[in-house]
């Protein structure tokens, strides 16, 4: 896990991993935000690496990826 510069805890998912997950799931940033029940702006922050991706979101995305295969 990577360390986040502005937090002491490790990042559960990087912005690059998030972009890859969205691509494999066939989701746009807006579509993923809607599915997760968050604001599109929040997703943009995560994709840009400006905000830490919460661990529950990382777990959910990984679960969706596993279910897809």
pLDDT in tens, 6-29: 445 556 899 999 999 999 999 999
Phi/psi of residue 46, each to 5°? -65, -45
Split into its structural domains, the chain has a count of 1
Parent domain of 12: 2-68
Residue among 2, 1, 3, 6 nearest 51 (CA): 6
- pLDDT exceeds cutoff 60 at 60: yes
10: domain CATH number is: 1.10.260.40
- 60 vs 1 pLDDT, higher one: 60
What does the pLDDT read at residue 12? 82
Cα separation, 2 vs 61, whole angstroms? 18
């Amino acid at each position: 896990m990577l360390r986040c510069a502005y937090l002491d805890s490790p990042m559960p998912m990087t912005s690059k991993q998030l972009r890859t997950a969205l691509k494999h799931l066939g989701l746009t940033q807006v579509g993923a935000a809607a599915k997760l029940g968050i604001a599109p702006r929040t997703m943009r922050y995560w994709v840009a690496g400006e905000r830490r991706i919460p661990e529950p979101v990382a777990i959910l995305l990984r679960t969706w990826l596993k279910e897809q295969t």
